[in-house]
Amino acid sequence: MAELITYRDAVKRAIAQEMRRDDSVYLIGEDVGDAGGVFKATKGLLDEFGPVRVRDTPISEEAILGAAMGAAMTGLRPIAEIMFSDFLATCWDLVAVEMAKTRYMTDGQVTLPLVIRTANGGGLRFGAQHSQAVENWAMAVPGLKVVAPSNPHDLIGLFAAAVRDDDPVLFFEQKSLYPTKGHVEEGEIVEELGTAKIVRSGTDVTIVALASMVRRAEQAADELAEQGISAEVIDLRSLVPLDATTIIESVVKTSRLVTVEENPRLCGWGSEVVSLVAEEAFWHLDGPLTRVTTPHIPLPSADALEDEVLPSVQRIVDGCVKAVS
Amino acid sequence: MTVTLAQAINRGIHDAMEADDRVLMFGEDVGKLGGVFRVTDTLQETFGTDRVYDTPLAESGIIGTAIGLAMYGFRPVAEMQFDGFAYPAFEQFTSHLAKMRNRSRGRVKLPVTVRIPFGGGIGAVEHHSESPETYWAHTAGLKVVSPGTVADGYAMTRAAIAADDPVIVLEPKRRYWMKDDLELPVTTEPLHKAVVRRPGTDVTVVAYGPMLKTAMEAADAAEEEGWSLEVVDLRSLSPIDTDTLVASLQRTGRMVVVHEAAQSLGPAAEIAARMQQEAFYHLEAPILRATGYDTPYPPAMLEEFWLPDVDRILDRVEEALDY
């Protein structure tokens, strides 16, 4: 029996699922306890698990990640929250220099089984410093795994996989998706990291999207169908590991590719996907590979401007029409 | 006169400071010591401790100070001593330095130059050989350049300091001791223009900073195989000069992009994606990449196996030619 729950409640359910299963899992972050999280995604966890396993911290992201890293080194499996993904910049030294490299620098003797979960992306009019889609920062650092679910079911399944993984995982929750709903079955849900999902089958063009862009890609596919264009939509779900196989197999079938990214254009994940597909499936391509992205600018906060720059359904449709023509 | 790249950059900062009292130089050990690579040697003696000064070991403070000084009308040049040390200042770079002009609707400009010795090849310990250009290029609001020649060491430093927006200058540390003639005054191409360093007909090789010299050596070696390589010096990673790259691709139909940074999302991915879109019908082969691996930078004794070299470039060239 599946129930309809929000992406926000899926976060709580995912954390609770893992904390009930394993005593070494604990949650740490700013306002995650008493306040239930600034997005209310961790509400109720303090009541169930108590203040030792659900801990509020001072407003110091470096301290949060430093503590999580130390805890992971000594046998716990911390879940650390960075309230807004933009704030990862204040503790990037710990992420890029320490966490990503510890396994390598110790020749595999020290692993860091920790998850950093963070509210990522735009759509809520929060301006240039609270709306960035920064998953590409993490993808550019060898040694990190990077996950960004688009719906409640995937959020729970991928989160469980992230907690159970022995290496650091950056888990990007798209903050504009928190109120969105999806069907989730009862019982434990665990998925595999590094697996993309074909959410709609098609034959003319492959659209690859992530997190908030998946729903828009599906809406674009609906509109394209009315024009007689059959689009296949792939929810990438995880950037590292990257499920190149699913994408390439799809492009071999459709011969066209459009990637849809929320982030600024230069050196986004779309560039990597396009480069890989172009190299691996060169002879199957019937037209230029197209990237639909936010322009290479800081994100504006004004409603009309934010709507203008984030990839819209119309821009995805236009990109696909161009790709197949 | 024959000078090293380090001396050319030094002269660029010197001349910019002489030309404009608002230019300041600061960072860790840049004053009394003259910088760990001696790039700022003698500048403090010449311009005094008010204009060239040492800071505490606090990168976030260095960039924060640069932002404040720029707001008040100075033109600061800040040094991050090593690539891997820029991370503690990441917030100042991404949230403030990159966004101030946009957030103030153009009213507050930040003419800040940040010099960062980057890349490997000098046998350094961990965290001292990073190639973090992907973050900088991905951050909207920053301009990112890397000189690959002695003349550009001088001219791009001057152009970066003269620019009204923040410019990250990635200095190829392994090439600091590379020598060439420098006749002043010198002006090279505009800061964000790519340049064909060696014309060729078979395959375009795109490189920048430390890999330019390697790409030129690869072109020499390729001649023996009978392959004519065109070498394009990218110079600017943000913005990227798409036109020059497309023009070269129209001549050769094949392209290999080289950098030390890890392959994932690197500038080579961006260039490959652009060429797929802008020059699809000129492609005789996919754009191939000769880059660092998707692993943390290895200990010094392994770096020669990690860094792209002539062989790795030529392997990719051969692959491109086989299509």
Taking residues A247-255, report their average pLDDT.
Answer: 98
For A102-157, write each residue's pLDDT tens digit: 999 999 999 999 999 999 999 999 999 999 999 999 999 999 999 999 999 999 99
Quick one: pLDDT band at residue B197, thresholds 50, 70, 90?
very high
| pLDDT for position A302 | 93
Helix (H, G, I), strand (E, B) or coil at B120: coil
Q: Average pLDDT over chain B, rounded to whole?
A: 97
The string of DSSP codes covering B8-25 is: HHHHHHHHHHHH-TTEEE
Domain annotation covers residue A192: no
User: What is the C-alpha radius of gyration for chain B, rounded to an integer number of angstroms?
Assistant: 19
CATH class entry, domain B195-322: alpha beta
Please check whether residues A135 and A21 belong to one and the same domain: yes
* Beta-strand pair A205-209/A257-264: parallel
Q: How many domains does chain A have?
A: 2
Q: How far is CA B187 from the centre of its chain?
A: 18
| Residue A104 contacts B where some CB pair is shorter than 8 Å | yes
Whether the pLDDT of residue A1 is over 80: the answer is no
For A15-35, write each residue's pLDDT tens digit: 999 999 999 999 999 999 999
Domain annotation covers residue A191: no
Q: What are the extents of the domains in chain B?
A: 2-181, 195-322
Q: Is the peptide bond before B166 cis (omega within 30 degrees of 0)?
A: no
Contacts of B138 in chain A (CB under 8 A): 136-137, 140, 263-264, 266-268
Half-sphere CA count of A253, side-chain side, radius 13 A: 17
Please check whether residues A220 and A167 belong to one and the same domain: no
Interface of A with B in 269-288 (CB under 8 A): 269-272, 274-275, 278-279, 282, 285, 287-288
* Beta-strand pair B236-238/B288-292: unpaired
* Domain's final residue, options A160, A185, A210: A185
Q: Who's near A122: CB < 8 A, 6+ residues apart?
A: A131, A132, A133, A176, A262, A294, A299, A306, A310
Please check whether residues A138 and A229 belong to one and the same domain: no
Please check whether residues A157 and A214 belong to one and the same domain: no
d(CA B295, CA B129): 13
Please check whether residues A145 and A70 belong to one and the same domain: yes
Determine, for residues B98 and A298 on separate chains, whether the beta-carbon distance falls below 8 Å.
Answer: yes
Taking residues A266-282, report their average pLDDT.
Answer: 97
The string of DSSP codes covering B195-231 is: EEEE--SSEEEEE-THHHHHHHHHHHHHHHHT--EEE
User: A42, A95, A41: which is closest to A69 by C-alpha?
Assistant: A95
- Indicate which residue of A18, A130, A153, A306 is catalytic: A130
| pLDDT for position A202 | 98
Taking residues B134-154, report their average pLDDT.
Answer: 97
Q: Which helix (H) or strand (E) holds A15?
A: helix A7-21
Q: Who's near A70: CB < 8 A, 6+ residues apart?
A: none
Å between A291 CA and nearest CA of chain B: 8
DSSP state of B41: T
Determine, for residues B138 and A137 on separate chains, whether the beta-carbon distance falls below 8 Å.
Answer: yes
Asked if B240 contacts B273 with a C-beta cutoff of 8 angstroms, the reply is: no
* Domain's final residue, options A157, A185, A213: A185
* Domain's final residue, options A151, A185, A219: A185
Determine, for residues B140 and A297 on separate chains, whether the beta-carbon distance falls below 8 Å.
Answer: yes
- Indicate which residue of A61, A191, A261, A306 is catalytic: A61
Contacts of B258 in chain A (CB under 8 A): none
d(CA A175, CA B76): 37
Query: Which CATH architecture best describes the domain B2-181?
Result: 3-Layer(aba) Sandwich (3.40)
DSSP state of B291: E
Determine, for residues A298 and B267 on separate chains, whether the beta-carbon distance falls below 8 Å.
Answer: no
Interface of A with B in 160-219 (CB under 8 A): none
Q: Of A100, A140, A288, which has the smallest distance from its Cβ to B264's Cβ?
A: A140
Q: Of B103, B265, B286, which has the smallest distance from its Cβ to A272's Cβ?
A: B265
Q: Who's near A189: CB < 8 A, 6+ residues apart?
A: A17, A153, A156, A157, A160
> What percent of chain B clears pLDDT 90, i.e. is strictly above it?
98
Quick one: pLDDT band at residue A183, thresholds 50, 70, 90?
very high
Whether the pLDDT of residue B255 is over 80: the answer is yes
Residue B193 burial by Cβ neighbours in a 10 Å radius (0-12, 13-18, 19+): middle
Quick one: pLDDT band at residue B141, thresholds 50, 70, 90?
very high
Please check whether residues A124 and A260 belong to one and the same domain: no
| pLDDT for position B187 | 84
Q: Average pLDDT over chain A, rounded to whole?
A: 97
Taking residues B55-68, report their average pLDDT.
Answer: 98
Instruction: Name the residue of chain B whose CA is nearest to A62's CA.
Output: B88
Helix (H, G, I), strand (E, B) or coil at B246: helix
Taking residues A179-206, report their average pLDDT.
Answer: 98
Determine, for residues B99 and A129 on separate chains, whether the beta-carbon distance falls below 8 Å.
Answer: yes
Q: Do domains B2-181 and B195-322 have the same CATH topology?
A: yes
Determine, for residues A136 and B127 on separate chains, whether the beta-carbon distance falls below 8 Å.
Answer: no
CB pairs under 8 A between A and B: 140
Please check whether residues A238 and A315 belong to one and the same domain: yes
Residue A63, domain extent: 2-185
| pLDDT for position A199 | 98
| pLDDT for position B126 | 80
CATH number, domain at A288? 3.40.50.920
For B76-122, write each residue's pLDDT tens digit: 999 999 999 999 999 999 999 999 999 999 999 999 999 999 999 99
The two three-digit tokens of residue B195, written as one number: 């340049």
Q: Who's near B166: CB < 8 A, 6+ residues apart?
A: B97, B98, B110, B111, B112, B113, B114, B141, B142, B143
Taking residues B220-249, report their average pLDDT.
Answer: 98
The two three-digit tokens of residue A45, written as one number: 């966890």
| Residue A140 contacts B where some CB pair is shorter than 8 Å | yes
* Beta-strand pair A181-185/B167-172: unpaired
Please check whether residues A172 and A294 belong to one and the same domain: no
| Residue A293 contacts B where some CB pair is shorter than 8 Å | no
Taking residues B223-238, report their average pLDDT.
Answer: 97
Please check whether residues A166 and A17 belong to one and the same domain: yes
Please check whether residues A171 and A251 belong to one and the same domain: no
CATH number, domain at A154? 3.40.50.970
Contacts of A278 in chain B (CB under 8 A): 272-273, 276, 286-287
| pLDDT for position B225 | 94
Domain annotation covers residue A317: yes
Please check whether residues A179 and A201 belong to one and the same domain: no
Q: Which residues of B are catalytic?
A: 128
Contacts of B289 in chain A (CB under 8 A): 275, 279
The two three-digit tokens of residue A86, written as one number: 């933009």
The two three-digit tokens of residue A171, written as one number: 């888990």
Please check whether residues A228 and A154 belong to one and the same domain: no
Helix (H, G, I), strand (E, B) or coil at A26: strand
Q: Which amino acid is at B19?
A: A
